A = this chain, B = another copy of it.
Amino acid sequence: MNGAQSLLQTLVDAGVEVCFTNPGTSEMHFVAALDQQDGMRGVLGLFEGVVTGAADGYARMAGKPACTLLHLGPGLANGLANLHNARRANSPVVNVVGEHATYHRALDAPLTSDIAGFAAPVSAWVRVSESAGDVAADAAEAVRAAAEPPGHIATLILPADTAWNDASGPAEPLAVPEPGAPDDGAVAESALALMSGEPCLMLLNGLGVSEAGLALASRIARATGARLLADTFIARMPRGAGRVEVDRVPYFTEQAEEVLAGTRHLILVDTKAPVSFFAYPGRQSVQTPAGCAVHQLTVPGQDTLAALSELADRVGAAPFEPEVSALEPPGLPEGPIDAEKVMRVLGALLPEQAIIVNEAATSGITLHTHTRCAAPHDLLDLTGGAIGMGMPAATGAAIACPGRRVVSLEADGSGMYTVQALWTQARESLDVTTVLFSNRKYAILQIEFMRVGAHNPGPKAMDMMDLSRPDLDWVGLAAGMGVPGMRAETAGEFADAFARSIATPGPYLIEVVV
């Protein structure tokens, strides 16, 4: 058994089942080991942003890490933006990055770079194996580091000779630490606040927006009159009929301040106090209202369900049932298609247990409203603001959840970042329906340009936010990568195409010019 084989066996023994990859020469022994290893599926991406974004989407739905296999520093570098998003989602990911052989590194060959340097900003754990005998134990530690609550990026750098030299065998899986116990004092403090009679708001994320977390929070809210709010962007949130619906902190900070105004006690559940996404001249970045007391119930990595359960007991929430959404799909719209009508069609036709990946940016504004009473589903957001997450994450989610339809809501600007994901969807015959909102501009930037006080953009500035000249033909792009599709002009056409797509195995793309 060589080092590469010891790696693969260790990963499989630790429960890692999927390897998203774009390998190179220095990873060929790992690819050979993949061949011989039962229980590990290799999925090729034509760009590493697809690979890491798929690993993020997979982790959010599977609740455990996939591994990536990346080619040296540049391969990792290409995947960093989606690893940034994965880090912000607390998604567990094990990166395996090939490196030049130990004795080759110092020679400064063209592909030599500081791989650990590239990895550091996104990784909670980085290690370079220095011999084939170390690989298995290092891999077991990488899986543990990734899986440790709330989920982390672990990056294992493997010089090529650690792959081809002899190793003694795989390493035993390491026990993953349990989530940290809730802090009794924090629970008591939150309970006191909730029973104070003063305006309370519970801000939720992480386990606080799991189905169980939302149910507990809803009971607490009904018992105490507290308001519930979730962070603006959430890694995964169960929604639709039978689930507790919670509004989000608005993206635009003026609106966020309005929503948060009047709060006397802010109880943070698996999250931190809200701040604006960007800074704006003359406006505060901190959104917590002046005079509001902040109570940290749990931080990411703690057992938030236990904390909420204890809190529910303390505030007498036992008799209260969670307030859940009814199944009341909206009616099908008619007339020329627009972004809101797309969302109404989704609300009406979404199949049970669909997975929505939302990177539709400005076109997605009414998604929450119209899918609130749809069939139960999961919603995955862009958590780190690095665009290009949507189509890769949809790809990974589909691999994690065969049998569930993935609906990838994508904008033209962000879609172009990792457009190669469509090819992987075609190759793997994934059940992904992409709705591509083509507004032919970076619409959010045209809004933000005004909001940051940079008034009256001239033609050169506008040009930098404009995606026309030429218009992108998304149906043509998808076809070029093997994904069938059509452009919908009316709500009826869109609904028909959407219904047909969710009933037909494999990927499909519907372009909506908005």
Listed in ascending order, the chain A residues whose CB lies under 8 Å from chain B are 21, 23-26, 28-29, 31-32, 34-36, 42, 44, 46-47, 49, 72-75, 77-78, 80-81, 84-85, 88, 100-101, 103-104, 107-111, 113-114, 117-118, 120-122, 160-161, 164, 233, 272, 275-279, 281, 285-286, 383-386, 388, 413, 416-417, 419-420, 423, 426-427, 444-445, 448-449, 452-455, 457-461, 463-467, 469-474, 476-477, 479-482
Q: Which of B109, B285, B464, B470 contacts A23 (CB 8 A)?
A: B464
Bound CA span A362–B21, Å: 22
Asked if B472 contacts A423 (CB within 8 A), the reply is: yes
Bound CA span A427–B469, Å: 6
- Beyond A46-B413, A118-B118: 6 further Cβ-contacts under 8 Å? A29-B452, A161-B281, A423-B472, A472-B480, A472-B482, A477-B480
Q: Which residues of B contact A454 (CB under 8 A)?
A: 28-29, 31-32, 164
Asked if A77 contacts B84 (CB within 8 A), the reply is: yes
Asked if A480 contacts B469 (CB within 8 A), the reply is: no
Asked if B32 contacts A457 (CB within 8 A), the reply is: yes
Q: Which residues of B contact A383 (CB under 8 A)?
A: 110
Q: Which of B21, B23, B285 contacts A104 (CB 8 A)?
A: B285
Bound CA span A388–B71, Å: 13
Q: Which of B113, B121, B285 contacts A107 (CB 8 A)?
A: B285
Q: 24 A-B pairs, CB-CB below 8 angstroms? A: A24-B445, A25-B452, A42-B460, A42-B463, A44-B463, A46-B417, A72-B385, A77-B81, A77-B84, A80-B80, A100-B279, A103-B279, A110-B277, A113-B121, A117-B121, A160-B279, A164-B453, A164-B454, A416-B423, A423-B470, A471-B482, A472-B480, A472-B481, A473-B479
Asked if A449 contacts B28 (CB within 8 A), the reply is: yes
Within the complex, the shortest CB–CB distance from A58 to chain B, in Å, comes to 17
Bound CA span A386–B111, Å: 7
Q: Which of B23, B73, B80, B285 contacts A74 (CB 8 A)?
A: B80
Closest to A412 in B: B46
Q: Given the known A-B contacts A34-B464, A42-B460, A74-B84, are A164 and B452 also in contact in the complex, defined by CB atoms under 8 Å?
A: yes
Within the complex, the shortest CB–CB distance from A284 to chain B, in Å, comes to 9
Q: Which of B36, B104, B416, B479 contacts A278 (CB 8 A)?
A: B104
Asked if A278 contacts B109 (CB within 8 A), the reply is: yes
Asked if B278 contacts A26 (CB within 8 A), the reply is: yes
Q: Which residues of B contact A34 (CB under 8 A)?
A: 460-461, 464
Asked if B276 contacts A109 (CB within 8 A), the reply is: yes
Within the complex, the shortest CB–CB distance from A47 to chain B, in Å, comes to 5
Q: Which residues of B contact A103 (CB under 8 A)?
A: 279, 285
Closest to A78 in B: B81
Q: Which residues of B contact A458 (CB under 8 A)?
A: 35-36
Q: Which residues of B contact A467 (CB under 8 A)?
A: 46
Q: Which residues of B contact A482 (CB under 8 A)?
A: 470-472
Q: Given the known A-B contacts A84-B73, A452-B160, are A417 and B44 also in contact in the complex, defined by CB atoms under 8 Å?
A: no
Asked if B28 contacts A448 (CB within 8 A), the reply is: yes
Q: Which residues of B contact A75 (CB under 8 A)?
A: 81
Q: Which residues of B contact A28 (CB under 8 A)?
A: 445, 448-449, 452, 454
Q: Which residues of B contact A107 (CB under 8 A)?
A: 275, 285-286
Asked if A101 contacts B384 (CB within 8 A), the reply is: no
Q: Which residues of B contact A277 (CB under 8 A)?
A: 25, 109-111
Bound CA span A284–B47, Å: 31
Q: Which of B164, B286, B420, B479 contacts A281 (CB 8 A)?
A: B164
Bound CA span A480–B72, Å: 32
Within the complex, the shortest CB–CB distance from A260 to chain B, in Å, comes to 15
Q: Which residues of B contact A101 (CB under 8 A)?
A: 279, 285
Within the complex, the shortest CB–CB distance from A481 to chain B, in Å, comes to 6
Bound CA span A120–B114, Å: 9
